[in-house]
A = this chain, B = another copy of it.
């Protein structure tokens, strides 16, 4: 039931917004009573935190796997971009809730999420810094800003990426990486 509450809530928060969705809406969608909701969650905010935690922890775990599995900075970067795109493809509504509804977490929860989000960014930062160290990547670019540009381009795609569109998440990731590694300018 806990999983079902989370699933239905992601859908409702994604479609109508966190503030606009009541606990009543959530339990109505499941045909259960509010008592059932409160058995699993103290509040709507606590449920939102659980959604946020799962989202970011899932990404961190996938990121660790990539770092273990791949060797070159280029391969790691490609795998991370592709992993994020797959996440947006498969969990578009979660991504929407994650990015848009973060403001509704309480301060303590927000701090926790920011810490994990920063960890994700710093891991990617490290991959790029390693690539600079190994001679794969240019040493004259600001690694922090480049990391933010890459994450920005990928995260932003939850605004427009359509899994039913002409290009799937692998095709988009391939173009992204080609563009980011080799640039737009004609050699």
Chain B residues within 8 Å of A100, by CB: 100, 103
CB under 8 Å from chain B, chain A span 166-185: 167, 172, 175-176, 178-185
- Asked if A154 is at the interface of the complex by the 8 Å CB criterion, the answer is yes
Quick check: is A23 within 8 A (CB to CB) of the other chain?
no
Decide if A119 is an interface residue (CB 8 Å cutoff).
no
Q: Which of A27-35, A36-44, A46-54, A155-163 contacts B (4 or more CB under 8 A)?
A: A155-163
Residue A122 lies at the interface, judged by CB distance under 8 Å to chain B: no
Q: A interface, how many residues as a size bin?
A: 35 or more
Copies in the complex: 2
**Which chain A residues numbered 95 to 144 have a C-beta less than 8 Å away from chain B?**
100, 103-104, 128, 131, 135-139, 141-142
Report whether over half of chain A's contact residues are helix, strand or loop; otherwise say mixed.
helix
Q: Do B183 and A146 have beta carbons less than 8 Å apart?
A: no
Contact of A151 among B135, B138, B146, B156 (CB under 8 A): B156
Q: How far is the CA of A136 from the CA of B186 in the complex (A)?
A: 6
Tell me the minimal C-beta distance from A72 to chain B in angstroms: 11
Instruction: Please state if A185 and B136 are interface contacts (CB–CB under 8 Å).
Output: yes
- 27 A-B contacts, Cβ less than 8 Å apart? A17-B19, A17-B103, A17-B104, A100-B103, A131-B184, A137-B185, A138-B183, A138-B186, A139-B186, A141-B178, A142-B167, A145-B172, A145-B176, A146-B184, A149-B179, A149-B180, A150-B153, A151-B156, A152-B153, A152-B157, A152-B159, A155-B156, A179-B183, A180-B183, A180-B184, A181-B183, A181-B184
Residues of chain A at the chain B interface (Cβ within 8 Å)? 17, 19-20, 74, 100, 103-104, 128, 131, 135-139, 141-142, 145-146, 148-157, 159-160, 167, 172, 175-176, 178-187
For the complex of A and B, the 10 pairs showing the least CB-CB separation, nearest first, are A152-B156, A183-B183, A152-B153, A149-B153, A19-B19, A182-B183, A181-B185, A153-B153, A145-B175, A137-B184
